[in-house]
Chains A and B, each alone.
Chain A
Amino acid sequence: MSAREFEAFLARIYLDASARAAFKANPQGEALRAGLSKEECAALREMDWVSLEMAARSFANKRRSKPLRSRPRTFISRARQVATVLWHRIRSGG
């Protein structure tokens, strides 16, 4: 039994629909192939698979939206925009 291998397997089923399907079709075989123990295999079988599918969808959405979040260039352009707004406000005495 290895916590590291269990985490790796979890990461795979969080990410990959085919890995989830393979485990559901053949839990013991997939667990054995991943080096998991009987207890870990049982824990995976007993987990809430509806929640797992929902979480997997949520992770996929996050991965898709991430590039939108990391736009350092926007930081500079927004700062320039703000400086312009403030400058006009100061000039107009507002």
Chain B
Amino acid sequence: MAGAVVEEGAAVVAGAECMNGSTFADKVGLGWRPDLAAGILSHLERIDLLEIIADDFFSAPQRHVRALQTLSSQVPVALHGVSLGLASSVSVETKRLDKMARLVDQVRPQFWSEHLAFVRGGGAEIGHLAAPPRTADTVEGAVENLSRAAALIGSNPVMENIATLIDPPGSTLYEVVWISRILAGAECDLLLDLHNVYANGINHGYDPVAFLRHLPAARIKAIHIAGGKFISAPDGRPRLLDDHLHDVPDPVFVLLEEAAALTPNPLTVILERDGAYPSMDCLLAQIEQARQALTRGRARLVAQEVPA
């Protein structure tokens, strides 16, 4: 068994000093992308954590894994999987879990994460994260897959909500209920992707803030922020595409403040950018905006807890 997730505490803490003097051990980091390497490594003092795409290293030569180990000795890292397809009524293959287990053992990340998505079915690889029907069957399947993953890898994954253009057919549960049941059943924490909540809110007509308030706040451990773009549609109703190719829009920072005001947990916030890279200064400015949103939210949380 590979139980190798490092306890938090050794990391640089992005302290949000609050009115009562307490400090939330929040961190703000960035998704590691090879194209950003130079900028990241020369600004590590402003980046608390790096999120690595685990799948990029599953079949990589050992020297690349050693390079990743060297990186993780300099800065805390989290491993992020994209292809296990754990939210499915179909059992995840052991060989896929083994790859994650090996990498977790080698890199010893702060935590590892995956998506509440299915990525294949009936022998067909979708090639990306797709929303399964939100039913009791997929809740049960996901809980079983997550339990197997935790047993084999040695720690529970932190599970991310996904963006979807399609309201999955055959669903009998609201998204927030479906997510909450899986997290409770598998005793997993949530990687709350705020741009996904924002995009789904627009595309499926719900209030993102109300969505956040219905989530189990005590399970929110990490947060993704990103940007996307509106795309036109033949029916005349534009959709928001979560493409990670644009700057984080203001409403996502508003949601970040809300999330920070909801949960007392230390939060790890990760800025995701997958291409059309802006300058490093622009990315660092978004990291700073995230810290400010966290500080505002934490101040609200403390004000709620300590009435004047």
- Which residues of A are interface residues toward B (Cβ below 8 A)? 3-12, 14-16, 39-40, 43-44, 46-48, 50-55, 58-59, 62-63, 65-66, 69-76, 78-79, 81-82, 85-86, 89
Q: Is B190 an interface residue (CB 8 A)?
A: no
> Quick one: CB contact mask for B163-203 with A, threshold 8 Å, 1 for yes?
01111111000000000000000000000000000000001
Q: Report the nearest B residue to A39, measured CB to CB.
A: B170
A55 adjacent to B165 (CB under 8 Å): yes
Instruction: Please report the number of residue pairs spanning A and B whose Cβ atoms sit closer than 8 angstroms.
Output: 139
Q: Report the nearest B residue to A71, measured CB to CB.
A: B34
Q: Contact check: which of B42, B118, B165 meets A82 at CB < 8 Å?
A: B42
A10 adjacent to B38 (CB under 8 Å): no
How far, in angstroms, from A3 to B141 measured CA to CA in the complex?
Answer: 10
Q: Contact check: which of A63, A69, A76 meets B67 at CB < 8 Å?
A: A76
Q: Contact check: which of B37, B122, B239, B274 meets A12 at CB < 8 Å?
A: B122
Instruction: List 4 additional A-B contacts (Cβ < 8 Å) besides A8-B123, A81-B38, A82-B41.
Output: A50-B235, A54-B165, A54-B231, A59-B126
B170 adjacent to A51 (CB under 8 Å): no
User: Are A7 and B241 also in contact (CB < 8 A) when A14-B126, A72-B64, A75-B64 are?
Assistant: no
B165 adjacent to A12 (CB under 8 Å): no
Residues of A within 8 A of B292 (CB): none
> Quick one: CB contact mask for B36-53 with A, threshold 8 Å, 1 for yes?
011001100000000001
Residues of B within 8 A of A3 (CB): 89, 133, 135, 137-138, 141
Q: Is B213 an interface residue (CB 8 A)?
A: no
User: Interface of chain B, helix or strand or loop or mixed?
Assistant: mixed
How far, in angstroms, from A64 to B239 measured CA to CA in the complex?
Answer: 21
A48 adjacent to B122 (CB under 8 Å): no
Residues of A within 8 A of B89 (CB): 3-4, 7
Among the 9-residue stretches B3-11, B20-28, B54-62, B264-272, the one with 4 or more Cβ atoms under 8 Å from chain A is: B54-62
B132 adjacent to A10 (CB under 8 Å): yes
Residues of B within 8 A of A11 (CB): 118, 120-122, 124, 126, 130
Name the residue among B138, B170, B233 with the largest chain A CB count within 10 angstroms.
Answer: B170
B interface size (C-beta, 8 A): 52
User: Are A7 and B90 also in contact (CB < 8 A) when A51-B166, A58-B128 are?
Assistant: yes
Q: Is B68 an interface residue (CB 8 A)?
A: yes
How far, in angstroms, from A16 to B125 measured CA to CA in the complex?
Answer: 11
Q: Is B95 an interface residue (CB 8 A)?
A: no
B165 adjacent to A51 (CB under 8 Å): yes
Nearest-Cβ distance from residue B172 to partner chain A, whole angstroms: 10
Residues of B within 8 A of A40 (CB): 169-170
User: Interface of chain A, helix or strand or loop or mixed?
Assistant: helix
Q: Is B88 an interface residue (CB 8 A)?
A: yes
Nearest-Cβ distance from residue B90 to partner chain A, whole angstroms: 6
B56 adjacent to A72 (CB under 8 Å): yes
B64 adjacent to A54 (CB under 8 Å): no
How far, in angstroms, from A86 to B41 measured CA to CA in the complex?
Answer: 9
A55 adjacent to B166 (CB under 8 Å): yes
Nearest-Cβ distance from residue A87 to partner chain B, whole angstroms: 12
B88 adjacent to A86 (CB under 8 Å): no
Q: Is B307 an interface residue (CB 8 A)?
A: no
A50 adjacent to B234 (CB under 8 Å): yes
Residues of B within 8 A of A79 (CB): 37, 67
Nearest-Cβ distance from residue A94 to partner chain B, whole angstroms: 11
Q: Report the nearest A residue to B237, measured CB to CB.
A: A50
Q: Report the nearest B residue to A78, measured CB to CB.
A: B37
Residues of A within 8 A of B128 (CB): 58-59, 62-63
Q: Report the nearest B residue to A12, measured CB to CB.
A: B124
How far, in angstroms, from A16 to B124 measured CA to CA in the complex?
Answer: 10
Q: Report the nearest B residue to A5, measured CB to CB.
A: B122
Residues of B within 8 A of A53 (CB): 234
